Copies of this chain bind each other. A is one copy, B any other.
Amino acid sequence: MARPTMEDVARRAGVSRALVSLVMRGSPKVSAQRRDAVLAAAEELGYSPHAMARSLASRTSTVLGVMVSDLHNAFFAEVVDGLEAVAAAEGFDLIINTGGRSAARERRAVTSLLSFRPAGLALLGPVVPTSTIASAAGQVPVVLVARSCRLAEVDMVNDDGEAGSRIAVDHLVSLGHNRITHLDGGAGSQSALRRRGYVDGMRAHGLNPDVVASEYTDVAGAKVVSQLLERGLDELPTALVAANDFNAVGAISALEEAGLRVPDDISVIGYDNTSLAGLRHVSLTTVDQPRHEMGRLAGEALLQRVRGERTDAARHLLHPSLVVRTTTAGPRTRRKLT
- Which of B77, B249, B280 is the one whose CB lies under 8 Å from A250? B280
Whether, in the assembled complex, A42 has its beta carbon less than 8 Å from a beta carbon of chain B, the answer is no
**A141 (CB) vs chain B CBs: closest residue:** B1
A50-B115 CB under 8 A given contacts A250-B279, A250-B280, A281-B252? yes
CA distance A53 to B275 in the complex (A): 43
A279-B88 CB under 8 A given contacts A3-B117, A55-B52, A74-B74? no
Question: Considering the complex, which residues of chain A in the window 66-93 have a beta carbon less than 8 Å from any beta carbon of chain B?
Answer: 71-72, 74, 77-78, 80-81, 84-85, 88, 93
Does A93 contact B95, Cβ atoms closer than 8 Å?
A: yes
**A105 (CB) vs chain B CBs: closest residue:** B88
Contacts of A140 in B (CB 8 A): 1
Does B77 contact A71, Cβ atoms closer than 8 Å?
A: yes
Contacts of A96 in B (CB 8 A): 80, 84, 93-96
Does B218 contact A280, Cβ atoms closer than 8 Å?
A: yes
- Which of B78, B109, B116 is the one whose CB lies under 8 Å from A72? B78
Whether, in the assembled complex, A158 has its beta carbon less than 8 Å from a beta carbon of chain B, the answer is no
Does A71 contact B84, Cβ atoms closer than 8 Å?
A: yes
Question: Considering the complex, which residues of chain A in the window 277-317 have a beta carbon less than 8 Å from any beta carbon of chain B?
Answer: 279-282
- Which of B53, B252, B279 is the one whose CB lies under 8 Å from A246? B279
Contacts of A55 in B (CB 8 A): 52
Q: How does the 8 Å CB contact mask read for A246-275 relative to B, with 1 for contact and 0 for none?
A: 100110110000000000000000000001
Distance between A304 CB and nearest chain B CB, rounded to angstroms: 17
CA distance A109 to B249 in the complex (A): 39
CA distance A281 to B256 in the complex (A): 10
Does B97 contact A116, Cβ atoms closer than 8 Å?
A: no
Whether, in the assembled complex, A56 has its beta carbon less than 8 Å from a beta carbon of chain B, the answer is yes
- Which of B49, B80, B109, B112 is the one whose CB lies under 8 Å from A115? B49
Whether, in the assembled complex, A228 has its beta carbon less than 8 Å from a beta carbon of chain B, the answer is no
Whether, in the assembled complex, A172 has its beta carbon less than 8 Å from a beta carbon of chain B, the answer is no
Whether, in the assembled complex, A111 has its beta carbon less than 8 Å from a beta carbon of chain B, the answer is yes
Whether, in the assembled complex, A114 has its beta carbon less than 8 Å from a beta carbon of chain B, the answer is yes
Whether, in the assembled complex, A276 has its beta carbon less than 8 Å from a beta carbon of chain B, the answer is yes
CA distance A138 to B56 in the complex (A): 26
Distance between A26 CB and nearest chain B CB, rounded to angstroms: 15
The listed residue with most B CB atoms (<10 A of its CB), out of A114, A135, A219, A282, is: A282
Whether, in the assembled complex, A20 has its beta carbon less than 8 Å from a beta carbon of chain B, the answer is no
Distance between A325 CB and nearest chain B CB, rounded to angstroms: 13
**A53 (CB) vs chain B CBs: closest residue:** B56
A84-B97 CB under 8 A given contacts A249-B279, A279-B249, A281-B253? yes
Does A112 contact B93, Cβ atoms closer than 8 Å?
A: yes
A sample of 7 inter-chain contacts (CB < 8 A) reads A1-B139, A50-B117, A63-B95, A71-B81, A218-B281, A250-B281, A276-B279
Known interface pairs A50-B56, A63-B95, A88-B98; 7 further A-B residue pairs with C-beta atoms within 8 A, sorted by A's residue number? A56-B56, A72-B77, A84-B98, A93-B96, A93-B97, A94-B95, A253-B280
